[in-house]
Amino acid sequence: MFDLTGKTALVIGAGSGIGEAVALGCANQGARVICLDVNEAAARRVAAKGTAGGGDCAAGVLDICDGPAVERVFADLDAKHGVDVAICTPAINVRKPILEYSDEELSRVLDVNIKGNFNVLRAAGRVMTARKKGSIILFSSIRAVTIEPGQAVYAATKAGVIQLAKTAAAEFGPHGVRVNAIAPGVIETPLTAPIKANQAWYDAYAAKSVFNRWGRPEELVGAAVFLASDAASFVTGSTVFVDGGWLAADGRFTPPGM
């Protein structure tokens, strides 16, 4: 049921971190994977890695903030291969208290996390609804539902991603297209590298997981493959949390003597 053989998957943000792991994971499950990233060299490196592992991979450049470019890429690849799966992983975060945020910083985060995801959702939805099938997977975060001081804009955008996915699921569903979101906890990626380098931050975040550790990019692959595959044929408008139990144990308290 989790086999992706015969499906073409566009993985955006495939040049590193979660996107790289998901791209390689989809290739391992038999999909033809198009690795897309704003860094074309990085996308080509991952595609070559997937091909060397026996996968069918290609690469290209894509900036999700460029709406017309996103539309062109989806239309071109749909004409060549048919787009069955679209997975969008990019996000940025500027960690600052609200009162210290600049207009430029606000625009940067909104442009990538909201406008970028919307561009992908719209382009993917356009080609998939026409073909009456497809799976779109956006990436949110636990910050969509639990906050941390200094991450107001990031949290707001990640909540927005979930609402985009839900709305698109309702709009695209009658056309046979599924839309879901994956919400990771703290994962070791280039985005979180500055925090990981600070031992106090690393330990504090690790303690929030019931496993007392951070997640790894490859631990997001299972959720992505599930949502991309026919195993999730009746799953749409959902958010899959991959957070090591963070939300389940958030606010936990161990009574004395236990």
* Chain centre to alpha carbon of residue 7: 19
Tokens of 96: 């600052």
CATH of the domain at 76: 3.40.50.720
Is residue 257, in this structure, part of any structural domain at all?
A: no
Verify whether residue 154 is a known catalytic residue.
yes
Is residue 253, in this structure, part of any structural domain at all?
A: no
Is residue 1, in this structure, part of any structural domain at all?
A: no
Is residue 185, in this structure, part of any structural domain at all?
A: yes
| Residue 11, C-beta contacts closer than 8 angstroms, at least 6 positions apart | 19, 22, 23, 26, 33, 34, 35, 36, 87, 89
| Residue 59, C-beta contacts closer than 8 angstroms, at least 6 positions apart | 14, 34, 35, 36, 37, 40, 43, 44, 46, 47, 48
Is residue 78, in this structure, part of any structural domain at all?
A: yes
Per the structure, the count of domains in the chain is: 1
**How far, in Å, CA of 11 to CA of 89, rounded?**
8
Q: What is the pLDDT along the chain (258 residues), one digit of tens a residue?
A: 899 999 999 999 999 999 999 999 999 999 999 999 999 999 999 999 999 999 999 999 999 999 999 999 999 999 999 999 999 999 999 999 999 999 999 999 999 999 999 999 999 999 999 999 999 999 999 999 999 999 999 999 999 999 999 999 999 999 999 999 999 999 998 878 888 888 998 999 999 999 999 999 999 999 999 999 999 999 999 999 999 999 999 877 777 765
Is residue 194, in this structure, part of any structural domain at all?
A: yes
Task: Evaluate whether 44 touches 59 at the Cβ level (below 8 Å).
Answer: yes
CB atoms within 10 A of CB 121: 23
From 101, 154, 202, 205, the catalytic residue: 154
Is residue 155, in this structure, part of any structural domain at all?
A: yes
Distance from the first to the final alpha carbon of the chain: 43
Is residue 3, in this structure, part of any structural domain at all?
A: no
CB atoms within 10 A of CB 135: 26
**How far, in Å, CA of 69 to CA of 135, rounded?**
21
| Residue 33, C-beta contacts closer than 8 angstroms, at least 6 positions apart | 8, 9, 11, 14, 23, 24, 26, 27, 47, 50, 55, 56, 57, 58
Q: What is the pLDDT of residue 258?
A: 54
Q: What is the pLDDT of residue 255?
A: 72
**Domain limits for position 203:** 8-246
Q: What is the pLDDT of residue 191?
A: 76
